[in-house]
Structure 1
């Protein structure tokens, strides 16, 4: 299972797809055509987590890829809510909970 949260590592989605590795991508850069194309061909379980205030996230593309998606309203690329520390902690809880369920589903 590959889980990576940074900008540059989104480009590694091709490795996960080529090697048929289940993967969770936190704030994937869906605005890069290559990334969206690679995620489209990924056949193993894949989780995408992003926020609607992230300029590098595209809700339409995320929904079209056929993967498990957690989209957080108003969250930015750091999965944070502007001027809302408590809300940002709740976003982190949501992301960790979804990651936990995703990882747990891989053994079945």
Structure 2
């Protein structure tokens, strides 16, 4: 039976990062670190099902539940400072929680805002044994995110809706040139991968994305 550990990392007086660490009943060799969006938390459907997939495949999970919409100090920072702040929060949490663990491989799964620190990690490689990444609705308007995916040397799954403000047709087409990148475009889906006004189609989209995540993790 899985063990759920909730905690909080105090990086400095302005930065307190809640986390949830889900561990298997027996020691697992892999972990998936999940980075949510600004409003799309790890309690929302895509993270809920991705978490269940990991549990079913004997992969531990670390939800890093930063709450930047409630952090007034964070809001006053410049964009580059915010990007670095998010990365520092993610790394501080991951290193502290996992410091006594010996996972053989790590996966990263991020959505929206979470793709910013994930993109920096793709460059800095602070985490050990990262083998692949899942990018849900990446912020492709951000050059750092776009370049990180474009130049990735790790297998990567990218999922985005064509009604997402960050969907840029030319950039999505260019990403396909990297054979390590698998791209799933959900027609008529917005930044939450929902189809406005169509609940049934939204549920179908969630099912499709969930299956793609499962296929990717099973590789």
**TM-score band w.r.t. shorter chain:** 0.7 to 0.9
Between structures 1 and 2, the one with greater helix share: 1
- Say if 2:149 is the partner of 1:8: no
- Say if 2:194 is the partner of 1:80: yes
Q: 2:160 aligns with which of 35, 50, 54?
A: 50
Q: What is the TM-score normalised by the length of structure 2?
A: 0.45
Match of 1:69 in 2: 183
Q: State the aligned residue count.
A: 104
CA RMSD, aligned part only?
Answer: 1.4
Q: What is the TM-score normalised by the length of structure 1?
A: 0.88
Between structures 1 and 2, the one with greater strand share: 2
- Say if 2:32 is the partner of 1:32: no
Tell me the distance in 1 between the aligned counterparts of 2:123 and 2:156: 10
Q: Which has the higher contact order (CA 8 A, sep 6+)?
A: 1
- Say if 2:202 is the partner of 1:92: no
Which structure: larger Rg?
2
Q: CA deviation at 1:32?
A: 1.2
Q: Any unmatched runs of 5+ in structure 2?
A: 1-106
> Which structure 1 residue ranges, 4+ long, deviate > 4 Å from structure 2?
none
Q: Any unmatched runs of 5+ in structure 1?
A: none
